[in-house]
Structure 1
Amino acid sequence: MADQTLNIIAVGTLDTKLAEYLYLRSQILEVNPSINVILIDTGRSETHHEAITISQPEVYRRSGDSRSLQSLPRGEVIKTMIKGAKSVIHDILNKGDLHGVVALGGSGGTSIAAAAMRWLPLTLPKLIVSTVASGDTSSYIAESDITMMYSVVDISGLNDVLRDVIGNAAAAVAGMAQRYASRHTAGLAGIGSDTKKRCIAITMFGVTTPSVTVARRRLEAMGFEVYVFHATGAGGRAMERLLSEGRLNGVLDLTTTELADELVGGVFSAGEGRLTTAAKTGVPQIVSVGALDMVNFGPKDTVPEKFRDRKLFEHNPSVTLMRTAPEECEELGRRLASRLLSNCINPDGTEVWLPLRGISAIAVEGQAYYDRKADDALFNAIRQGLNGSSIVVKEVDTDINDPAFAEGVARRLAELIKE
């Protein structure tokens, strides 16, 4: 490991931030002089310096755009340089031995760097020092594992504060790259890893946690490695991404609540790709209806006016829930069945389990969201949608958090994986 060269990409708009990037480079080399810093220029105009590894004209050429950058509006320049940067970084990644990516930027530079980083493999270190890191960064990070560090001051001229922030970032990315390389080397050597261990995803919400906990422990006892995804939109997308990368052997999709937010307009939608990737790839899966009794909004005063007379439940000061109505539940059942049917290449490896006595902790009899009519609409739409298909619909006379339900889905998923 001591003889291995670490390769870290630093990608940014060097026509406006050359001095800051050169300082970042110097600080990385101060941490570890053997690191190879690959400096990529994504600026609007060409910048000349011996430390630049891949020039702006080369990045621009790789975008495939023949228009003059100088004549384009700022938004188009950003889109063009994103294409070029992704192409360049893709080639470096494919050659092997990439150990980290780091960037500095305002909103434009952050947009370019984040777009170039998002598609990179999960757990490969990705760090952005940004002026926008203290706000809502979901549009930059999406379902990736980008780390963002607030720059405190603008990245416009070096000063004591920015030097310290950049120094911290340099030490962080160098350390992460070292750790990443160590894990990768150990994995190739078969050290400290069980190559036979299979991985399972489970989706969870607070109101399905008891069931997920029982199922997780049962699957871990069977020798599986379990990844639990919080169904907050990004969680669902992250799971779908891991499925597309071939890193999961099975899915226990207990909590499909993101479909409700997608339908009604809540804050935790995972988009139209949710509930499709396991079906498309043939990965064994058990799907349930956890937390489809609710749509998520922010603080109570942010709930849209048209929903103010609906059944609302203040989960905490930051999250307000709205009970899904029967007609919404009917449409959710249709969508769930349709996405499975239209995408499933392995229907024998897919089952839908319906907990007839309650689909969340607050939807059982005596709780705030108990609604037999709404649940029946959901169940009937799923039954009808999957009727005549090879996808099994199993009805269980318990609520979703009953330990018997959790044990049952865990055991059955293990059987489907073995089959």
Structure 2
Amino acid sequence: MREDADTMGDLSRKNVMLIITQDTKQEEARFVREHLEGAGVNVVHLDPSVRRDVGGAEIGPNAVAAAAGSTIADILALGHEGQIHEMMIAGSIRAAHEFAAHTPIHGILSVGGSMGTALAGALMQSFPYGLPKLIVSTMASGFTKPYMGVRDIAMMNAVTDIAGINTISRDVYRNAALAMAGMAKGYDGLPVSGRPLVLMTTLGTTEPTTRAIRQALESDGCEVMVFHSSGVGGPTLDAIAAERDVALVLDLSVTEIIDHMFGGLADGGPVRGTVGMARGIPTIWAPGNADFIIGGPIDAAQAQFPGKRYHKHNPHLTAVRTDLADLERIGDRLAAMMGEAKGPVAFFTPLGGFSSHDSAQGHLYDPSLPPPFAEHMRKAMPQNAQFHAIGAHFNDPSFAQAIIAHARSLLGQPAMVAA
């Protein structure tokens, strides 16, 4: 490392970590650094180059390799770009955290192609929520999920290749530098609230009940984080449940589990919903949105799920109605998951419909399905789980109140004093 906290310049200024490989992007690195410093922040340049060490970076290639427990020569001797890249990712993450342990970092900015974006994304994902994170990338106009993961990472399309400064890239890099400087200056790094943390899933089709629950628990003094179960929200909830002190999980939208089972678009992965229960976090389940699988455009949905009922939600998404056999499969999956819970777990199911689509005003209404599903769940429920069948629609106030009452019992008191 070239500098430490004592030689960073003006210690009253915020510090931005800049990630650019100078062996291929020295001109861009110098340009971005000048604009960051011109905007009033200090720069900590982490350079994970492997071809050559240009010099001038606060955390240079040799320091990155050393943090990975190796040397640049030994890493290059691996002779495989994937293995080399993995070593530099590991070294970059460790070097960044070693630096941040003694000098506060107020934002992270990277500029790169696919390899640089993969490295920067992995590094940014290792830092906490709230810390400003921005990637300028040639990959930003395509599939970004691997780089962002479930963190609050912003991506900006580089537009042109990262190959010199032109009239477009000049503005892109300058805008990125100014945006990051502004975010870093505004970053306060406040700790978590200290209030009991409740995590909840929802979709717009179950929003009336989840809103009522959120407002009730917030009035009790809880911090309630709500996640849209569209494929990323649930895994984000799981990630937070794995690393924070969570008082209660309310998994009230099972869309991501259904779509994993049936091949829908909002697939949350094979462990969706299991993380909090494995930690012993009290969990309440409800089959919100169990009435449909999320398919693509109507023609594609009809081809993928033939013989079903369909609701064209928009030109890109189709709600595909589940039948009783589907619901029983879903119920068996949920029951098996709850059987592995290491803490209190309960299941609430409505007898009047699972979402706004499955209502008298909806497009997929079938009042014959919720009662036999409830009976199937009653029989499938593991001994460690409580079961509650409520004679109401999911979005009825009485269903929300039943969950609120049980949530308050799990949180330890009927109404908590606001912090």
Verify: 1:47 aligned to 2:53, yes or no: yes
Matched with 1:8 is: 16
Q: For the structure 1 residues 3 and 139, does the alpha-carbon distance in structure 2 shift closer, same or farther, using more than 3 Å as the test? A: closer
Aligned to 2:150, what secondary structure does the other structure show?
coil
Matched with 1:278 is: 276
Matched with 1:204 is: 202
398, 413, 416: which one aligns with 2:410: 416
Q: Distance in 2 between matches of 1:44 and 1:373?
A: 64
Q: Distance in 2 between matches of 1:144 and 1:150?
A: 18
Verify: 1:404 aligned to 2:398, yes or no: yes
120, 126, 129: which one aligns with 2:127: 120
The answer (yes or no) to whether the contact 1:358–1:365 under 8 Å persists in 2 is no
Q: Distance in 2 between matches of 1:383 and 1:45?
A: 63
Residues 164-195 of structure 1, C-alpha deviations (whole Å, 9 max, x = no match): 21111111112211221x343xx5xxxxx9x5
Verify: 1:313 aligned to 2:320, yes or no: no
The answer (yes or no) to whether the contact 1:259–1:269 under 8 Å persists in 2 is yes
Q: Distance in 1 between matches of 2:271 and 2:98?
A: 27
Task: Report deviation, 1:396.
Answer: 0.6
137, 152, 172: which one aligns with 2:179: 172
Structure 1 residues not aligned, in runs of 5+: 188-192
TM-score by length of 2: 0.88
Q: Distance in 2 between matches of 1:220 and 1:62?
A: 44
132, 135, 141: which one aligns with 2:148: 141
359, 381, 400: which one aligns with 1:386: 381
Q: For the structure 1 residues 305 and 8, does the alpha-carbon distance in structure 2 shift closer, same or farther, using more than 3 Å as the test? A: same
Verify: 1:38 aligned to 2:38, yes or no: no
Aligned to 1:266, what secondary structure does the other structure show?
coil
Residues 304-327 of structure 1, C-alpha deviations (whole Å, 9 max, x = no match): 734243222211112112122333
The answer (yes or no) to whether the contact 1:259–1:292 under 8 Å persists in 2 is no
TM-score by length of 1: 0.88
The answer (yes or no) to whether the contact 2:374–2:389 under 8 Å persists in 1 is no
Quick one: which amino acid aligns to residue 39 of structure 1?
H
Q: Distance in 1 between matches of 2:141 and 2:331?
A: 39
Q: Distance in 2 between matches of 1:116 and 1:353?
A: 40
Matched with 1:190 is: none
Q: Distance in 2 between matches of 1:94 and 1:116?
A: 15
Residues 343-397 of structure 1, C-alpha deviations (whole Å, 9 max, x = no match): x2222xx21111121111122357433346654564345333324x232111111
Verify: 1:230 aligned to 2:238, yes or no: no
The answer (yes or no) to whether the contact 2:20–2:112 under 8 Å persists in 1 is yes
Q: Distance in 2 between matches of 1:42 and 1:298?
A: 40
The answer (yes or no) to whether the contact 1:298–1:319 under 8 Å persists in 2 is yes
97, 102, 123: which one aligns with 2:104: 97
How many residues end up aligned between the 2 structures?
Answer: 402
What are the equivalent positions in structure 2 for 1:11-410 lying under 5 Å apart?
11-32=19-40, 35-49=41-55, 51-64=56-69, 68-69=75-76, 72-95=79-102, 97-180=104-187, 182-184=188-190, 195=193, 197-303=195-301, 305-342=303-340, 344-347=341-344, 350-364=345-359, 367-371=362-366, 375=370, 378-387=373-382, 389-410=383-404
Identical aligned pairs, as a percentage? 32
Quick one: which amino acid aligns to residue 129 of structure 2?
L
The answer (yes or no) to whether the contact 1:331–1:381 under 8 Å persists in 2 is no
The answer (yes or no) to whether the contact 1:101–1:125 under 8 Å persists in 2 is yes
Q: Distance in 2 between matches of 1:376 and 1:227?
A: 31
Q: For the structure 1 residues 217 and 161, does the alpha-carbon distance in structure 2 shift closer, same or farther, using more than 3 Å as the test? A: same
Q: Distance in 2 between matches of 1:44 and 1:376?
A: 63
Task: Report deviation, 1:73.
Answer: 4.2
The answer to which of 86-95 and 258-267 deviates more is 86-95
Residues 242-276 of structure 1, C-alpha deviations (whole Å, 9 max, x = no match): 11221532222211211001101111111122111
Q: Distance in 1 between matches of 2:12 and 2:348?
A: 50
Q: Distance in 1 between matches of 2:389 and 2:172?
A: 56
Q: Distance in 2 between matches of 1:248 and 1:5?
A: 34
Q: Distance in 1 between matches of 2:97 and 2:370?
A: 47
Structure 2 residues not aligned, in runs of 5+: 1-9, 414-419
The answer (yes or no) to whether the contact 1:7–1:97 under 8 Å persists in 2 is yes
The answer (yes or no) to whether the contact 2:22–2:54 under 8 Å persists in 1 is no
